[in-house]
Structure 1
Amino acid sequence: MREVQLPSHEVVWSIGELAERAGVTVKTVRFYSDHGLLPATARSTGGHRRYGPGALDRLRMIRSLRALGLPLPEVRRVLDAGGAADRVLEDAVAGRLRELGSELKALRWREAALRLVGESPPAERAGRLRLIATVGVPPSTAPLVRFWRGWLPPRMPAGATSAFLEVAVPQLPDEPAPAHLLALARLHAMTTAPCPGGRRPEPEVHRVAGAHGTAALYAGLAEAYELASPQLRRARDPHPGGALDAYVAAYARAYGSRDTRTFRRLLSARLAAEPRLERYWELTAVVRTPPGGRPEPTPGSADDWLRAALDRDNAAAG
């Protein structure tokens, strides 16, 4: 430590005087000094720290940055940036905002979990606690993605797989309610449970169409679901029309057939024998529905509507 004799005309403060002017404790000033954020202007002959007027502005800046929640390394970067301080500060604030977004998201899900447990009937609390423990807070949709990747043909084009996953895997709500968490926990339990016989049932059309044919099938089904969605929103009864025609055409291409009355009857029988995932789509609808809102159509509800429309069309044709 180098001892410095300060000129008598230079304004300097002891650590206590700086703390008093800044409205903080001596311990606070010492903490920032020890971490190199608030270097002393010099030392007295007795080795005591002395601070010039610039230290007061620097200390106030440190406290302002810390009030934003910036960690010490980020504070140091801003203070030492010189002419680039504005840009460094913008980057630090943006990073902190991202962190806060994640923290707030976790807190909202934690609140939903607490409300779920608090509002549950006593007889159901233990089971729901176990469900929450398996899904985590905030929950992840990764198990749902893995479930569908196992369902789809393994060599299906990546773009088609991604497009299907965007539709089939629900987005986490920004304002989760207890019902959202419970539905996600049940989806997690459903999609991670061992399959009977050790293998997930695969639709027949996957085997017939192959990976690329299945990709074309799901693209056609997505169009049919989009056409059917307004009918579901208006609570219209299933009926023939453009949505059903697009639905049948997608399957006809996958099976290498044409849309004929005979094919429509065969398709109805084939679809009735396929594995169903009603429970998945029911739970997905809950996740997608805002509190107090009306359920939005899902691929499952649109498919049910179109199957019913196909059955009605076949019955009307005799």
Structure 2
Amino acid sequence: MLPDGLWSIGELAARADVTVKTVRFYSDRGLLPEAGRSSGGHRRYGVEALDRLRFIRSLRALDLPVPEVERVLDRDAADEALERAVAGQLREVGSQLLALRWKEAALRSLRDCAPDERAERLRLFGALPSPPSTDALAGFWRRLLPARLPGRLVTLVLDSVVPLLPEEPVPDQVLAFARLHALVTDPRLGLPGLRPAAPLPNGTYRPAVLYEGLAEAYTLSSDGVRAGRAPQDGGALDCFVSAYARACGESDTPVFRRRLVDLLARDQSLVLPRYWKLAAGLFAPGEPALGALHHHLSVALGAEVHGRLP
């Protein structure tokens, strides 16, 4: 320490266990208070600078970028800036941990599979984003949904058809998601023949009415499945048919039901059944997926129309 009780830049660096270059960097950005200058123009620092430098090191140890550190050191907004910075770092760490858990499950899948399966799995896992994301799945469904469907209904549909990624995935789940991701991002996948047609040729088709009604029908069907009821016993089947009828401005009649059975039989794609098969293990256990509920109701309607109900 100099006779005036201050430190040179080298002494401050030594006390803080950092390089002189580091001290100069933070000083040049105005983050370290200078107690004065020597007659030769050299910087002098006091205890306050040492405390500030140690605090900066603590913030940087949390991987806060320098601009965030500057905001935290702004006395007028220090508490709020630190809270935001910590929250942001927690999100970042959570994302990194999720990516590592998915990587671990993928490696276990590669380790445990047959040798002739490894090349395919490696290709599938290599195509996944890191950290894993369901953006591609949501984009797939957005392309399928009718144009100009209200945003609230788009959100409702996406919440029902795009599974939440497990935070602690097992190898089978990572493999299923990798195959699901490959399915929806396949450049050969064309929407013609995949996008459902207007429900029935007659009347004015109102897709918002259809999707609102189907949401109610699927909820009833899901409750019925968990309770062990048949679709026609809990009102789910009637609600399902009514959604289509109201969307077309028609009435629910035996004739309409026969036409609807024919439509549902034609409106088939190999892609969607595969989607639901792969996604099944990613939804919450015990919760029937929307695709399974739709199939459940369609089969029940066909059985009723063709007189096969008990």
Q: What's the TM-score once normalised by structure 2's chain length?
A: 0.82
> Which structure shows the bigger proportion of residues in helix conformation?
1
Cα distance, 1:207–1:195 mapped onto 2, change above 3 Å: farther
Give 1:3's aligned residue: none
Post-superposition Cα deviations, 1:70-126, rounded to whole Å, max 9, x if no partner, equal 2223223333x1343323322332333333333333333333333332333222111
Cα distance, 1:84–1:193 mapped onto 2, change above 3 Å: closer
Give 1:160's aligned residue: 153
- 256, 276, 282: which one aligns with 2:277: 282
- 89, 94, 109: which one aligns with 1:96: 89
Cα distance, 1:211–1:170 mapped onto 2, change above 3 Å: farther
Post-superposition Cα deviations, 1:129-172, rounded to whole Å, max 9, x if no partner, equal 11122232233333323322332333434443333223222233
Give 2:116's aligned residue: 123
- 69, 73, 82: which one aligns with 2:67: 73
Could you tell me whether the CA contact under 8 Å between 1:131 and 1:189 is conserved in 2?
yes
Could you tell me whether the CA contact under 8 Å between 1:153 and 1:206 is conserved in 2?
no
Write the distance in 2 (CA, Å) between the matches of 1:317 and 1:110. 48
Could you tell me whether the CA contact under 8 Å between 2:232 and 2:238 is conserved in 1?
no
Amino acid at match of 1:54: E
**Tell me, what secondary structure is at the counterpart of 1:35?**
helix
Q: Unpaired runs of 5+ in structure 1?
A: 1-5
Give 2:217's aligned residue: 224
Cα distance, 1:301–1:70 mapped onto 2, change above 3 Å: same
Write the distance in 1 (CA, Å) between the matches of 2:190 and 2:69. 58
How many equivalent residue pairs? Answer: 304
Q: What's the TM-score once normalised by structure 1's chain length?
A: 0.80
Q: Unpaired runs of 5+ in structure 2?
A: none
Q: How far off is 1:49 after superposition? A: 5.0
Deviates more, 1:184-193 or 1:241-250: 184-193
- 201, 216, 227: which one aligns with 1:208: 201
Write the distance in 2 (CA, Å) between the matches of 1:175 and 1:107. 10
Deviates more, 1:55-64 or 1:95-104: 95-104
Write the distance in 1 (CA, Å) between the matches of 2:227 and 2:140. 31
**Tell me, what secondary structure is at the counterpart of 2:127?**
helix
Write the distance in 2 (CA, Å) between the matches of 1:156 and 1:89. 41
Give 1:187's aligned residue: 180
Q: How far off is 1:220 after superposition? A: 0.9
CA RMSD in angstroms comes to 3.2
Amino acid at match of 2:155: S
Could you tell me whether the CA contact under 8 Å between 1:220 and 1:246 is conserved in 2?
yes
Give 1:308's aligned residue: 299
